[in-house]
Amino acid sequence: MTGPEPERALIRRVSPFAVPAAVVAYSAGALVAGADAGWSAAIAIAIVYLNFVANALSIAWAASTSPTLVSIVALGGYVVRLIVYTVALVLLNQLSWFSPVAFALALVPAIVALLVFEAKALSGRAQADLWTFDGARHQ
C-alpha cells in the first residue's frame, strides 16, 4: 500500500472478494443445512465486509485529521465491531429462519481471513508511515 490513504486502497483490494465470499458461504450453508443456513452465512459475510468498510473509512477520515484521532478510532473500531457482531447475532436470532450456527461458522473464518489479508497487505510498514498529516512538521 502506498499513497496517503492505505485504507481506501485496502477497500478496493478486498471489495472484489465480498460477493464471491457471500456466494460461497451461502452455497456451503445451503448444502449442509438448507437455504436458511445459507442465508445466515451470507449475512455474516455481508456484516463482516460492511464493518470492514466502515472501519477503514473511519480510519481514513481520522488520518486526515490527527495522529491521536487515528489511535482513538482504531481502538474504538475494534469495540464497535464486536458490538455490531453481537447485536446482529442477537437481533437476527429472533427470526425463525435464522441459523446462529451457520452465522458463526461463516463469521469467524471471514474475520480471520480479512485480518490475515490486512496484515499481509500492510506488513513491513510501521502504521505511522502509512499516513501523512498536513499540519505535521518533519523533524
pTM: 0.83
**Rounded distance between C-alpha atoms, residue 108 and residue 29, angstroms:** 14
What residue segments make up the domains of the chain, in order of their start? 6-117
Q: Quick one: cell of 32?
A: 449442509
Note the pLDDT of residue 107: 97
Place of cell 438448507: 34
Q: What are phi and psi of 138, to 5 degrees?
A: -85, 135
Note the pLDDT of residue 24: 97
Note the pLDDT of residue 1: 46
The answer to whether 85 and 47 have CB atoms below 8 angstroms apart is yes
**Rounded distance between C-alpha atoms, residue 43 and residue 121, angstroms:** 25
Could you tell me the mean pLDDT of each successive run of 10 residues in the chain, 139 residues long?
72 95 97 97 97 93 89 91 95 97 97 91 63 56
